Amino acid sequence: PPLSEASYPLFTTYRRLLIMVESELQKKFFPRSADGLPGLGLLHYLSESDAGGALPQREPREVLPSVFFTVAWKKMVEELPVALRGQYSAEQALIEIMSYIKGSYRALMSPDGHLTEAEYLHFQGQKLGLPPEHRQGMYRLFRAYERFKKVQGMYDHLDVVHHVYCQWLVEGHTERPIHLLYIDEVQDLTQAELALFFRLTPWAFLRKGMFFCGDVSQTVTHGVDFRFQDVSSMFMHELNGWSDWKAAQVQRRQRAQEDRSELEAAEQRRRDLTEMTDRMASNTRKCNYKRRDRFRQAMLQQGTATEARAETDPAAADLPPPVDTPREVPRVSYLTHNFRCLRGVLQLGNSIQDLMDHAFPCLTE
């Protein structure tokens, strides 16, 4: 049968899909004109062009790998002592920042969009290529990188991913569900980018309508350290309710920050208007009660009992929600045949790969 407009798009890039979702959000990452037309910054993001210098000063510009290597890196290494500058390379820094500090699954769940220094120093969720004793210096480079972006009025791709993820949690799901999702060249995506699919396509995720395909030896995107085993771990966390719990934790921190701001403002008003102290204190308590009730209802809708358990046991607020029955994690299938290569050459390559897997089990896949 002929395809209808509701089937659009059948094929798209990750960035175009991300912008399609971003355009439906009330709080958008890229500014639009008064009539809703996209600006030059958005068009530049979709094109992934290096011509960011030609954009007007008011338009946001992306830190592409070429900009990172030629401009940002020179500013970043100036933050390190002279004796430490030779210990890090630009390619290594890009991988650590984009794949772990900002691009890991845990970083996406963070309200700030990146790991804290303590989390990065003790990070065990992935096999980091950087020794623990060098991570403190790498985090200093990350801070310098974030300052560089702020001064230059720039952003990177993961900033867009985190913005869409957070706004998606606040504003809800789309009215046009995606029932089947096939992702090719998955080795060019970070964990944060892949985790966003779980939120954007819950129908496909819960009904086994997601299929990932790629070759870890053909990664072309700079700064990506991909492992299929990490994808399996992400599925396990999602199926066991970890993602919903972390989302509730983010909302809980945001609500707590809003409550603190409101209480501070109320305290200032009480000092300025002493004659209204009793009435304003009562209004503040009512406001807090209403906010707490709204938060509890939101958590109940998400199917988590974190807040209820926290009332009886404060330490339980930092534990994941209970899981009734664990679900099946999708199996990773390895393709051992290549019809574009001679059989003898393929067997030789497989034998070398087997030796590498045996000698370096944590560094190969």
Per-residue pLDDT of the chain (365 residues; tens, 9 = 90+): 566 776 677 788 888 888 888 888 888 888 887 777 777 777 777 776 655 555 556 677 888 888 999 999 999 999 888 888 888 999 999 999 999 999 988 898 888 899 999 989 887 655 556 777 888 999 999 999 999 999 988 999 999 999 998 888 887 665 566 777 888 888 888 889 988 887 777 666 666 778 888 887 777 778 787 777 777 777 777 766 655 555 555 665 676 677 677 777 766 766 666 665 555 555 555 555 555 566 455 544 544 333 333 333 333 333 334 334 445 666 777 776 666 777 788 788 878 878 887 787 666 66
Say how many domains are in the chain.
2
Total length of the chain: 365
Q: Work out the angle between the directed axes of helices 14-24 and 40-47 (0-180°, nearest 10).
A: 150
Q: Is 191 contained in some domain? A: no
Q: Is 62 contained in some domain? A: yes
Nearest to 216 by CA among 206, 225, 208: 225
Domain range enclosing 111: 12-173
Q: Is 180 contained in some domain? A: no
Q: Domain end: 115, 146, 173, which one?
A: 173
Q: Is 185 contained in some domain? A: no
Residue type, 92: Q
Query: Same domain, yes or no, for 142 and 290?
Result: no
Query: Same domain, yes or no, for 168 and 258?
Result: no
Query: Same domain, yes or no, for 19 and 99?
Result: yes
Query: Same domain, yes or no, for 130 and 273?
Result: no
Measured between alpha carbons, how far is 5 from 1 in angstroms, rounded to an integer? Answer: 13
Query: Same domain, yes or no, for 167 and 273?
Result: no
Query: Same domain, yes or no, for 163 and 267?
Result: no
Q: Is 357 contained in some domain? A: no
Whether the bond between 60 and the residue before it is cis, its omega within 30 degrees of 0, is: no
Query: Same domain, yes or no, for 18 and 111?
Result: yes
Q: Is 220 contained in some domain? A: no
Q: Domain end: 144, 173, 202, which one?
A: 173
Q: Domain end: 318, 341, 356, which one?
A: 318
Measured between alpha carbons, how far is 123 from 116 in angstroms, rounded to an integer? Answer: 10
Stated pTM of the model? 0.67
Query: Same domain, yes or no, for 156 and 249?
Result: no
Q: What is the dihedral of CA 26, 27, 32, 35, to 10 degrees?
A: 30
